[in-house]
Structure 1
Amino acid sequence: MASSSNQGNLHNSCNRYSDLQVDSTANNNDFTVECARDDEVENFIEGFDDSFSSSSGLWIPKVDDNKVKPYSGQIFRDIETCFKFYAEYGRQGGFDIRKSSQKVRDGIVVYKYFVCSKGGNHETSMSKESDSNSDLSLVSSTAGVDVRRRRRTVTKKCQCEAKVQLKYGGFNQYIISCFVEGHNHPLASTSGKQFLRINRTISSLQRRFILDAAKSNIGAHRAHSLYKSIAGSYTDIGATATDFQNWVRDIKLYIGKHDADMLLQKFQNKRETSDAGFSYEYETDSDGHLTRLFWADIPGRQSYEVFGDVVSFDATYRTNKYGMVFVPFIGVDNHWKSVTFASALLNHEDSTNFTWVCEMFLKVFQQAPKCIITDQCPAMKVAINKIFPNSIHRYCMWHIMQKFTAKVGPVFCAESGFMEKLNKFVWSSHLTISEFEQGWNSVLDEFGLSEHVWLNEMYLMRESWIPAFFRDKPMGALLRTTSRSESSNFFFNHFVQRGDTLSEFYICYESAIEKQIYENKKLNDGDRCIPKTITEKEIEKEAAQLYTRTMFYKVQKQIKASCFHISLAGQPIVADGVSTYIVRDKTYDEKYFEVQFSFLTNNVDCSCKLFTRVGYLCRHCFYCLGLWGVERIPHQYLCSRWMRNAEDRFCKSKFSDVMESTNVQNIRDMSKKVWTVFQGCIEYVSNNGDGMQFLFDEMNSLKIRVEEKFESSRATKEDMLEECFGVRPSTITTVHPPLQSNNKGSRKRLVGPAEKSCDGKKRKLRVCKFCMLEGYHDSRTCPKKKMQNPIMQAANNSVDNISTNQTINTGIIS
């Protein structure tokens, strides 16, 4: 019976290879089909597939070593050993296997079946129902009814009867009682064996590689391509790109409801192992869903002590799957680079959430920043005024100036010279408040905009964004726009994706912070080199020794200008030990500045207020110091935030950041050491063929000894999550993942008229197929097409309705 069944299956599977001989006639367009005979098909297949046996009509696996071929009566110590043995036979033979049914008696498995993966029948009742209703579906579709089509799929199952039957033989032994060798389907070719499921496994090294790639915003598909370069070829990877993607998908699904819990557990572990150096706070709604989260790590807290005088924060979007708003707090370090102090995730952008974030910020850092810069978000303004009443709140100038073209008019701003004249008063840091106000009003009067509503609104809030009002504020001109925040948001977006879970988001965030710290260390190391000076002044040489390289170049620019662009206008006035100088600056249109110098205390003050605004002396001060022969920068003007190694020298808080060694961490560290030794061996014999062969033989023998001494342990998904994220999912969910948020910035940002006009200029002219004229439209958006006669449109619609009715009636009749 089995032979007859197999022969029948053979004929079914062989029909794909049969050649059709067609004899057509030209007169009546009829044709006859003559199918190849069964013996011809068998001979044809046997000619190109040496695993096919024409005598039995089956495919017999060919293996290199007959020791891996099962046989009846073969004894194994347990079921798993037999499964691995049969799997190796399938791997070499070109077919996949799977575990099938079993019989249990008194708690002992007495029979166990391993079958070919193509065994069984994939046909289901649903597919039968679909076949029986196919005619009805066709009629309904013809009648205009929308019918949902089934997805096109394929099946690998073809009732193959190849199998191994195990029988319990007592004394903890299992015996192969039945072994069916032949398959009723072609086996995988040599080149196709790599795609068998048994040959496609993702190793722990590959999982780590996928995770490390994700930290740099590299998806699973691109990670597969990169791993090919490491492995040598796609064949050597041992898994397909789909396998890589499926592993990431399975991890995301398994995280599921544990997402928020895993992240909070990771935060708790970091807090416990850092002597409270790592700080975090969170809140949930009434149902236990995470709504807002704030955290500050040790590097951020230490940086804030030195560079926290000015803070910029802005919200960014599309960083996680829940749509939560990401809010980083950004400052400027001693290399004029952005530094992250703390971060938050919020479910909504409202005053309540921003107030809570500011409260947590003040709770952790214990000191409010001197100046905070944001955009014109009303919710942020409410929160800052409430929590930081003594801090200076400054609006981003760039956002306001970008609105001028939309509010006043793009043509007027571009062609009238209005913006050019207004910019001289708006952006200047050297004007006093009265000079700005006079200039603003004169420009508006000149162009007849004194009654403009929006301009008057901006004038009323001038204290919040015009530089003239921040001249006397410490570090008031360090940041004038939120470009720091926006560039940081752009930086973080290189590491995160909008589909990330919270756990994935944070490990990507950690990767971004690690890069930020690495770049800072690199710049600190670069300060060991002393930059060249361009003058012979001792004060410049001292500045090269004290300031970071970036800041020295800014100070050097002022020292150079003091030598070539500053001149004395009149005699100084001396009173009470203070000399007052009036100097002329060629750089600023021959503008005059007043400098006061005390030769008793070396105190120097300039009307340009550069030191107050940014923390280093101006060219006017250096000029006056040179007149008195001062060769060293007075110590009171050496701002600590711009000095070399500022964090190490001036940070008072010292937190411990030594993580406790866990078993997973120890194994990971030892794995790195093993790889280092192995790579060192390869490097040592890389150009020696005999040496490489010796290393290969030694590694093979070592592999055998390891397999004999240690049992292979299959990692569970909990182990994978702990390996990837540093924590294991809890069995009890205390904090649920956030609900999906819908914030104002979740979609693409609104584009103003100015950007639209710029984009229009970039587009190429094309010929419209409707009006046959060149323009920035096509036949769908042609303005002439929209201006057609309504009567003609109505007539066309009537004709269309008549035609449609006739078509429907015809379909019903037929």
Structure 2
Amino acid sequence: MDNTVKLLTERKCAVDGPDHRISPSTVSPFENAIAKSRDRSSPEIFIPAIGTTFNSCQEAYGFYNLYSWEHGFGVRHSKTRKNQFGYRNMHEIVCQCEGRSLTKSSASCRSGCHAMIRLLRTDDHGWYISMFHSEHNHPLSVGCCGKMQWNSHNEIDPLALDFIKKLGENNISLGKLYNIIKSMKDDIGKTMEILNAMKQNDNETEIMVDVDSDNRMKAILWCKGKNREDYSYFGDVVTFDTTYRTNMYNMPFGLYVGVNEHFQSTIFGGVLMCEETAAAFEWAFESFIKIMGGKHPITILTGQPMQGHESSYKKTMPDTKHRWCRWHVLRDAKEKLGNVYSKHSCFKSEFHGIINEEVCVLNFEKRWEELLVKYDVVDNSYLQLLYKKRRMRARPYFMGVFCAGMTSTQRSESANHVLKHFITRSSPMHLFVRQYNNLLKSRRAEEAREEHSTSLRCRVLKHGMPIETDAAVYKIFTQELFMSASFVAKELENSSSFEVRSAGSLLDVSVDSTTHKVDRLTDGSMVKCSCGWFEHSGLICRHALKVLVRCDVQKIPPGNIMRRWTTRAREAKNNTPSVTEEGETSEKNSYRHNLLCMAMYDLSQDASLSEEGFELVMTAISTARKNLSDLNRDRPA
């Protein structure tokens, strides 16, 4: 701290003046921190030491916010104090988790954290740090995506905001910008350059290219380090679909998609293929398994059956269960059964109900037969084919197969739909690959937002039952818990077994009267239900919840808690790739860019005060630009 600056160590109630100091000749704390960064003993660049002076509260806020970014928390303005003239003489900037929510049921991240800085005034109307608390009582965020979830780190830069406004004023959408590609030459070369750059920035990125006898490319498959890490945790179920064809060569693009512990879609990899043949699919699956360290999924869900799919799965993943996507079945049904749809308004709802809702095999067979007779479609060839292949796509036959709650490739379809917002049709391959990487970044941001909310926000108990606090995938759990109230449980002679059925069936014979048997192990370690939902999804079903609530059980049995759905899902496993987090390189570039912008802003204010200062700075900029040009030219590619 400059010894010439006199600090106000008391309130000075009679002091009046401006809210900030005008001192263009002083060195800002940002410049001091950057100048001393090479000789620092700690990893932090910006340290809010007691006695550090600032021209304004906003400058102090920016400095403390940079410190908070380095540590992984957010900040906000808090208490302030004014004297009788309205002159601010004290201001506090605190951690975003400071204080407590006034409402106990509020899903707030406030945990009573005491981390903060207190600012007092100097005699020349500046501000200085008089108090600094660095300890936190909550988890700190790690990585760019996690840190950006804090409000103070999620603001749009003023220059970027102004640019967006200008685009809007000129009626230019962001989608149109993706089409402003003037050069289409050497597309394959540009694509490989992008892939090689991905490999340089992330050592765990794996790229595989399939070529024919004439050395022409047939397919490209790539998985980033984050994709491989996610697969090591959540690769038990994979959906795969190749219906997306957004590139100028009309090449099918396949997405390998799974579901993470937050029940969000997570992308494991992508493959661009020139053809959809048995050999092409075999290469795509074999290469994918090789990149993932030889780990095979338990179940794979695919789109409508195509030539080459079946033999490829059996050859490359012989122990993996294969099922078809119900979404494609229902989509094709509208085309194949158009005449039935148009004649009978109730056919669609009944048909979809059997496909999507029925979980009992006997009821499925009964309702299917009744449907065919009712609408006189017994001889329909398409429905005959569906029934013949019912074990590949009908829900009752899925219940014993673990699918992590996924029974269709709609997660792949959803990812395809999101990708359309990043890139339009008839785009070159290199732009397609680049924008696909932007899709991965957006998915990572969504995941980080959910992780941030899970680790910091308090859970709101919707039904007021103690068992809710022990729930995994809370949104689905609450749906099952709500539906459990519509069932009745009857205890059998054996006190550990119950019969569960719909309460409505006792009053109305038209309501489904299917009875499910629920068994509780004598040691209370697990609950088993005949409906098969737990075996299918890894989540406890409504029938089992009915029994647990009836028995006043306050904790979900440990045998019904699958690790992949818990906060411990990402704990280290053997052979898990050690990856650099997505966006770390761009994070460093953005960080340096922001520091330069702040330094140049202060410099421009000083230089604009006189003609001599203006000429001096412009000459220095010209010299620096020439030196940077030489530096970039000599830098290895």
Q: TM-score, normalised by structure 2?
A: 0.64
CA 1:414–1:485: 2 relative to 1, 3 Å: farther
Task: Tell me if the contact between 1:267 and 1:280 (Cα under 8 Å) persists in the aligned partners.
Answer: no
Q: 1:315 to 1:605 in 2, by over 3 A?
A: same
> How many angstroms apart in 1 are the aligned matches of 2:583 and 2:446?
26
Residue 346 (structure 1) shift: 0.8
Of structures 1 and 2, the larger Rg is shown by: 1
Letter in 2 for 1:573: E
Q: Is the 8 A contact 2:187 2:430 kept in 1?
A: no
What is the CA distance between 1:610 and its match in structure 2?
Answer: 1.9
Q: Which residue of 2 aligns with 1:279?
A: 206
Give the drift of 1:297.
1.0
What stretches of structure 1 of length at least 5 have no aligned partner?
1-225, 686-690, 729-814
CA displacement at 1:699 relative to structure 2: 5.5
- Deviation at residue 405 of structure 1 after TM alignment: 3.7
Q: CA deviation at 1:488?
A: 0.4
- Displacement after TM superposition at 1:359 (Å): 0.4
- For residues 317-369 of structure 1, what are the alpha-carbon distances to aligned partners after superposition, in whole Å with 9 as ceiling and x for unaligned? 44333332211111112222211001111111222111100001111221221
Change (3 A) 1:680 1:325: farther
Could you tell which deviates more after superposition, 442-451 or 384-393?
442-451
Q: 2: distance between equivalents of 1:621 and 1:246?
A: 51
Q: Is the 8 A contact 2:208 2:287 kept in 1?
A: yes
Paired position in structure 2 for 1:655: 578
Q: Is the aligned partner of 1:262 residue 2:183?
A: no
Distance 1:444 1:699, change over 3 A: farther
Distance 1:670 1:623, change over 3 A: closer
Cα deviation per residue 1:162-195 (whole Å; 9 max; x = unaligned)? xxxxxxxxxxxxxxxxxxxxxxxxxxxxxxxxxx
Q: Give the 3-state SS of the residue equivalent to 1:378 in structure 2.
A: coil
Deviation at 1:595, TM superposition (A): 0.9
AA at the equivalent of 1:520: E
Aligned residue pairs, count: 465
Alignment partner, residue 618 of structure 2: 703
Alpha-carbon separation, structure 2, partners of 1:305 and 1:669: 31
Measured against aligned partners, the alpha-carbon deviations of 1:579-606 in whole angstroms (never above 9, x if no partner) come to 2211222376454321111232432111
Letter in 2 for 1:568: A
Mean alpha-carbon deviation: is it higher for 598-607 or for 330-339? 598-607
Which amino acid in 2 is paired with 1:711? K
1:494 aligned counterpart, secondary structure: coil
| Structure 1 residues 707 and 678, CA gap change in structure 2 (3 angstroms) | closer
Partner of residue 497 from structure 2, selected from 580, 583, 598: 580
Distance 1:667 1:561 in 2: 50
Distance 2:236 2:583 in 1: 34
More helix by share: 1
| Residue number in structure 2 paired with 1:537 | 465
Q: Which amino acid aligns with 2:500?
A: V
Query: 1:635-660 CA deviation, whole Å, 9 max, x = no partner?
Result: 12111222136324668614142899
Aligned to 1:379: 308
* Shift in Å, 1:245: 9.3
1:389 is matched with 318
Aligned to 1:218: none
User: 2:239–2:409: 8 Å Cα contact kept in structure 1?
Assistant: yes
For residues 331-346 of structure 1, the aligned pairs below 5 Å read 331-346=258-273
- Aligned with 2:479 (options 541, 553, 557): 557
- 1:603 — aligned with what? 526
The answer on 1:367 being equivalent to 2:295 is yes
Q: Any residues of structure 2 matched to 1:426-441 within 5 Å, and which? A: 426-432=355-361, 434-441=362-369
2:227 counterpart of 1:306: no
Preserved CA contact (<8 Å) 2:223 2:269: yes
1:725-744, aligned counterparts within 5 Å?
Answer: none
Quote how far apart the aligned CAs of 1:463 are: 0.8
SS of the aligned residue for 2:220 comes to: strand
Alignment partners' CA distance in 2, 1:626 and 1:228: 52
Give the match's secondary structure for 2:496: strand
Structure 1 pair 707/246, CA: closer, same or farther in 2 (3 Å)?
Answer: farther
Q: Is the 8 A contact 1:596 1:605 kept in 2?
A: yes
| Structure-2 separation of matches of 1:679 and 1:490 | 41
Name the SS of the counterpart of 1:694 in structure 2.
coil
Q: 1:445 to 1:561 in 2, by over 3 A?
A: closer
Identity of aligned residues (%): 21
Structure 1 residue matching 2:255: 3-state secondary structure = strand
CA RMSD of aligned residues (A): 4.0
* Amino acid in the other structure paired with 2:389: M
- Which residue does 1:496 correspond to in 2? 423
Q: Which amino acid in structure 2 is aligned with residue 269 of structure 1?
A: Q
Query: Alpha-carbon deviation of 1:441?
Result: 2.3
| Secondary structure of 1:701 counterpart | helix
How far did residue 474 of structure 1 move?
1.8
* Maintained 8 Å contact 2:226/2:579: no
Which residue number corresponds to residue 354 of structure 2?
A: 425
Are the counterparts in 2 of residues 617 and 637 from structure 1 also a CA contact under 8 Å? yes
Distance 1:699 1:583, change over 3 A: farther
Q: Is the 8 A contact 2:459 2:469 kept in 1?
A: no
Structure 2: gaps of 5 or more residues: 1-158, 505-510
Question: What is aligned with 1:463?
Answer: 391
Task: Find the residue that maps to 2:263 and give its secondary structure.
Answer: coil
| Structure 1 residue 670, shift from structure 2 partner | 4.3
CA deviations 1:118-140 (Å, max 9, x no partner) are xxxxxxxxxxxxxxxxxxxxxxx
In the alignment, is the contact (CA less than 8 A) between 1:362 and 1:368 conserved in 2?
A: yes
Secondary structure of the structure 1 residue equivalent to 2:413: helix
Pick from 404, 407, 415 the counterpart of residue 344 of structure 2. 415
Q: What's the offset of the Cα at 1:533? A: 1.1
TM-score, normalised relative to structure 1: 0.51
Report the secondary structure of 2:308's partner residue: helix
Q: CA–CA distance in 2 between the matches of 1:537 and 1:659?
A: 39
User: In the alignment, which of 547, 570, 586 is matched to residue 624 of structure 1?
Assistant: 547
Q: Is 1:331–1:341's contact at 8 Å kept on the other side of the alignment?
A: yes
User: Could you say which residue in structure 2 is the equivalent of 1:199?
Assistant: none
- Superposed CA deviations along residues 429-449 of structure 1, whole A, max 9, x for unmatched, are 4212x3322322232234332
Q: What CA distance in whole angstroms lies between the structure 2 residues aligned with 1:393 and 1:252?
A: 40
CA–CA separation in structure 1 for the residues paired with 2:525 and 2:178: 70
